[in-house]
Amino acid sequence: MRPDQQRPVLVFDGICNLCHGLVVFILKNEKAPLIYFSALQSGFAKNLCVDSSTDSVLFIDKGRIYTESEAVFEICRYLRFPWNLLRLLRILPKLVSDQAYRYIARHRFRLFGRRQSCVYNLPGHMERFLE
């Protein structure tokens, strides 16, 4: 991404089916096509010094890096109604929402499966994927 393209970036696990589903969901439900995407296994994520074994998506927006449930709530700001209302769950104590996030993240491969590689074939959206 060029410095003049200060758009939000979602860094996700490229071999996780749940993460892939999240990316597809965002692409279908964004208010406007603003979010860029990068797999944890990519050079972009490595340049950020992100550990590819992390159990959290990262959402980078306006110079801040959000993780766990906070990342999900920030992503919701970019979604259409009614999905943007999920941000209201932010009223839950952070401890509770992060524990729920961690539980799902820890068991995501067992619950949703794993992809063989992080290759994406999403016609019309490939320019939104960094590296």
Helix ranges restricted to H, 52-112: 68-76, 94-106, 108-112
Model pLDDT for residues 27-57, shown as the tens digit of each residue: 999 999 999 999 888 888 777 766 555 778 8
Task: Give the least confident one: 46-50, 58-62, 87-91.
Answer: 46-50
Q: Rounded to two decimals, what is the model's pTM?
A: 0.87
